[in-house]
Structure 1
Amino acid sequence: MFQVTPGMRRLCATVLGMEAIVVALATPVLITQAGVAPGMAVTVGIGLAVLCVVVAGLLKRPFAYVAGSVLQVLVLATGFLIPVMFVLGLIFTALWITAIFVARRVEGVTSR
């Protein structure tokens, strides 16, 4: 059974909050550098940023961690629009996985 701990929730919310900022700031880059249509760029960039914030708010529930993992895949997929997002997506995916496992390990040790 997947148990949500306060430390895990805090770390994952931090990752998603920072990711929301980065993805939102990628919107103008999508328009100017990648030549993506403004409507599509705003939908992708701001849409993913809003999803990051919404999922961060739902982290009290276990399903939100699945949603956060799906969100990491979506952010990686934006690399097909602008390649630098592959790198940023990998960094945030690594932070997401680390936040889950490190928080569980640390809180498992401190609760004993």
Structure 2
Amino acid sequence: MSKKDDRPRPGDTIKPRKPAKVQFAATVLQLEAFAVLFAALALYGLRDSTYERGPLVLGSTAALWTVTGVLFLVLVLLSRMVARPGGYAAGSVAQVPVLAMGLLLPMMFVVGAVFVAMWVVSLRLGGRIDRERAEYDASHPETAPNL
């Protein structure tokens, strides 16, 4: 491609785009992982206070960091594997423990619900964008990525 004109010319190699659904879903899972980490920090800071916690209380600091650390790692790993078979289903299942963190820190029910909504939107909107890109590429083969 020439520097003056960004449009591809016949014979130019066009890099394939990463699917929008994969990008959106991975981003939501990564953001969720950090929300879990920040919730763990909040729980750690509140461990000796008179703050009214949720119905479930982790007895020790080690249990707190183990549970939240494992959930953090699972979410990060799932964000990298979301494009593989079963990745979206595993990501959907991972929404449950994030919501369940509300049993430790009640505000996590709200945060978890926001992330569940973002997850659903990422799957639906990402899929729609990918379908529209495929339709456009089919009708404009001269600008379609070379697979």
State whether TM-score is above 0.5. Answer: yes
Work out whether 1:71 is the aligned partner of 2:94.
Answer: yes
Work out whether 1:50 is the aligned partner of 2:73.
Answer: yes
Aligned partner letter, 2:20: G
**What's 2:121 paired with?**
98
| Runs of 4+ that moved beyond 6 A | none
Identity of aligned residues (%): 34
**What's 1:82 paired with?**
105
Deviates more, 1:55-64 or 1:85-94: 55-64
**What's 1:61 paired with?**
84
Aligned partner letter, 1:68: G
TM-score by length of 1: 0.88
* Richer in helix (by share): 1
Aligned partner letter, 2:67: V
Aligned partner letter, 1:49: F
Q: Structure 2, unaligned stretches of length 5 or more? A: 1-17, 47-52, 136-147
The superposition leaves residues 19-65 of structure 1 with CA deviations (integer Å, 9 ceiling, x where unpaired) of: 11110111121223246421121122211111111101111213111
**What's 2:44 paired with?**
31
Q: Structure 1, unaligned stretches of length 5 or more? A: none
Aligned partner letter, 1:48: L
**Offset of 1:110 from its aligned partner?**
2.3
Q: How many residues align?
A: 108
Q: How far, CA to CA, are the matches of 1:94 and 1:62 in structure 2?
A: 22
Q: How far, CA to CA, are the matches of 2:79 and 2:129 in structure 1?
A: 21
Q: How far, CA to CA, are the matches of 1:109 and 1:98 in structure 2?
A: 16
C-alpha RMSD over aligned residues: 1.5
Q: How far, CA to CA, are the matches of 1:41 and 1:48 in structure 2?
A: 11
**What's 1:8 paired with?**
21
The superposition leaves residues 47-94 of structure 1 with CA deviations (integer Å, 9 ceiling, x where unpaired) of: 111111110111121311111111101100111111011011001111
Q: How far, CA to CA, are the matches of 2:115 and 2:82 in structure 1?
A: 17
